[in-house]
Amino acid sequence: GNVVCIAFRENQAAYVAGYLAGLKTRSKITGIVAGFPFPSVQRLFNGFTVGVREACKECLVEGVFVHSFAKLDLGKKVAEHLVSDLGADVVFGCAGATGSAAIMKAAELGADVVGVDVDEYHTTFANEPVERKARVLTSVVKDLEVA
């Protein structure tokens, strides 16, 4: 058979996004809405956290594993808590559709956001007003076509 096994280092791209978040935050609080604590999602979570802390030693990274990739309302609620209650002004969503809903809510509330898996500027935020689209700092993607 023609079978190929590919292992990605999600932490590397997430580190760069976290570093950017650490440079961009004004409140010195960033947030993560992560899906299930699978190894790949843990690598995203940890890479982002390390990147934020490298760029901003005094920054806090508040994050939660929501144990879902498909509960949009849960993503929105967690994002609202991160932004409105904890003061996060950059939120990373790495929880599939749950994460996309989370970053959309965070952007609605005025936070900058980081997406995952696809360029969420052109997907999740495609039909949003330009001022909301401008909240997308970047997305952490694996270029599967190249792999």
Q: Which DSSP state fits 145? A: T
142 to 81, 139, 145: CA distances (angstroms): 29, 10, 9
- Is-contact 94 63, C-beta < 8 A? no
pLDDT digits over 65-79, tens only? 999 999 999 999 999
Encode pLDDT of 119-128 as tens digits.
999 999 999 9
- Beta-bridged to residue 138, according to DSSP, are 114
Look up the pTM and report it: 0.92
